[in-house]
Copies of this chain bind each other. A is one copy, B any other.
Amino acid sequence: VAVKHALLGLLLERRGYGYDLMQRLEARLGPAWQLNPSTVYAALDQLEEEELIVGRQPDEEESKASTRRRVRRVVYEVTEPGKVAFEAWVARPSAQQEPIRGELQLKVAAAREEDVEALLDAIDHAELLTRMLWEECREREAAEGAATAARPAAGLAHTAAVLRLEGELRWLETARETLLGRRPRPNGRGRLPVRQFGM
């Protein structure tokens, strides 16, 4: 999933330089996206090459602070073709659906009876990580919604991650119950209460 066009949208709100854009995009997408900063810089280069944005050295007055630090940041602005490209991208139906792939799915698909114990451990581990990320995304969702209520879809990108992770947590529970149903564990490990995710 290329972040290129989303950067146009951020720049239409206000111009900015690379690091600023990277931070703004990360704030909106949250930790679940695992945004790689280098993809942001590569996308800016590509947008500039395609003349959808222009990079300018800020004038003397503006760049005083950064000049003092011997840094002159390139500030990007959207061109008219860039604005057209952004709006076309928002309106364009997605070419295809994202594949749904996860390592635990593969393990489940390939597991034999004798793998059930190891699988239950893998499920416990995944649940811990997923729950931590879910909590983080919930916080980001609330913070983003509050901070930027001016944007129509403020917080909704975080909500996507939250709901995806809730689906994942429900799957982990289902998987555990299914496997335990077949092979009850004497110590009852894994029999956690069913949780509510505030839905």
Residues of A at the B interface (CB closer than 8 Å) are 1, 3, 5-10, 12-13, 25, 28-29, 32-34, 86-87, 89-94, 97-113, 115-116, 118-119, 121-122, 125-126, 129-130, 133, 151-153, 156-157, 159-161, 163-168, 170-171, 174-175, 178-179, 182-183, 199
Contact = CB atoms under 8 A, between A and B. Distances in A.
A89 B113 CA distance: 15
B110 A104 contact: no
Given A12-B112, A102-B98, A122-B94, A159 B179 contact: no
B111 A9 contact: yes
Copies per complex? 2
A50 to B, nearest CB: 17
A13 B108 CA distance: 14
A114 to B, nearest CB: 8
Contacts of A166: 167
15 contacts: A1-B106, A6-B106, A29-B109, A33-B101, A87-B115, A90-B122, A94-B103, A97-B130, A113-B152, A116-B152, A152-B179, A153-B178, A156-B174, A156-B178, A159-B171
Contacts of A159: 171, 174-175
